[in-house]
Amino acid sequence: MSQQTDRFKVLGAGIASLILAMGVARFAYTPLLPLMQQQAGLGVVEAGWLAASNYAGYLCGAVVASLISDLAIKDRLFRIGMVVAVASTAMMGMTTDVGVWALSRFVAGLSSAAAMLLGTGLILNWLIRHNHRSELGIHFSGIGISIAGCATAVTLMGHDLDWRQQWFAFTAIGCVAIIPALAWLPAPDTSGMTASGRKLEDRPPSPLFMRVFMAAYFCAGIGYVVSATFIVAIVNRLPGLAGQGNLVFLAIGLGAAPAAINWDFIARRTGELNALIAAAILQVVGILLPVMVDGLVSALLGALLFGGTFMGMVSLVLTMAGRYYPTRPARMMGRMTLSYGAAQIIGPALTGWLAGGFGGYAAGLYLAAGFMSVGTVLLLVLRGIGRRDATAGLAALHPCRQA
């Protein structure tokens, strides 16, 4: 089998794992949320806590990923996580008990971490060892595909299936996606050498760089989670946009599908940090457009901007982590995701609390945009720290080409 065929099969396994764990197990909840509120009696505050439970599971998974160095164990946990993703999806349709739903969301969060961190780390490790470009744009297109696919599926199924039947339909989709996710990812090579015989060496950034980077990524997590979780419910309650939430969610997916690939190309020309700063600025605009400008066109444009930036930011950050730690990329990925994951616990819970007070989720978008603005300032500070570190020789092979 040719090297390029192997590469596309490995990347295909990654895409399938993200469709399963991030799409089916995680993002299906967003377009199904209004239906569960209408048909299953799910309250506004409880909906926020279910989202927070999902991110609590994701955060716990990030902790595990950051502590494990053995590639064989990571591979085993990744495969278990894919099975758990299917099971947690089926759980959602089996009950109307909020406690069981919360458990399902927590377990789904664990499986999301398995795909995003363990799976991504294994794939990046494989790419580096086999002398391929260490970029994850194609891999992360699976998230955009899964968002668009979930929105489309709920729209198509909404006329014939109730909320429970739709969860079971997503379970069936997960049973299909798990096949390539498990079959196409080879067992990891633990030799510590690339295919050409070059030794892999870690070159971590300075402690100050890491602290500021994690703070900026925390802000990005708040900016991401509010729209990713509540955008369907928010748009459905805007004047003149009732019933358009799934269309806007579809636009997020369409924007996100090619985003990571696009930002890979941008980063090649500008450097990763400059690309991150540009994406953060555009994401603030995308978050605010639906509530600042009336109409479906502005909501769709905001969704495209949001989808086209949040996925690019995640891809760039995790790619940078792999370049700092090629022998164990999930280590820094896990640490960064602790910041992102903590934000994703706080964000939905706080948004749910604000919704209870203001009667809707729109206030959460202003909260998200505020945090994203702070994160943008921190990224500008980080660029200065990176330059200082490079000058001082603290990061001899810094992965960012400074502007």
The string of pLDDT tens digits covering residues 330-360 is 778 878 878 887 887 788 778 877 777 776 6
Query: Across residues 64-79, what is the average pLDDT?
Result: 88
What pLDDT does 197 receive? Answer: 59
Ordered structural domains, the chain, with CATH: 3-188+199-392 (1.20.1250.20)
- What does the block give as tokens for 26? 């995680």
Nearest to residue 262, comparing CAs of 214, 304, 201, 203? 304
Range in 100-104, 267-271, 325-329, 393-397 with the lowest mean pLDDT: 393-397
Mean pLDDT, residues 218-241 taken together:
83
Is residue 396 pLDDT above 50, yes or no?
no
Rounded to the nearest integer, the mean pLDDT of the chain is 85
Per-residue confidence (pLDDT) for residue 193, from 0 to 100: 59
Average pLDDT over residues 68-79: 90
**Distance between CA atoms of residues 255 and 232, nearest Å:** 16
| Residue 383 vs residues 207, 268, 276, 336: alpha-carbon distances, Å | 14, 16, 10, 17
pLDDT tens figures, 38-56: 998 888 888 888 888 887 8
| Model pLDDT for residues 88-137, shown as the tens digit of each residue | 999 999 998 999 999 999 999 999 999 988 998 899 888 888 877 777 78
- Residue 281 neighbours by CB under 8 Å, 6+ apart: 376
Say what the pTM is: 0.77
Neighbours of 332 (CB within 10 A): 25
Q: Which residue has the higher pLDDT, 367 or 193?
A: 367
d(CA 42, CA 27): 17
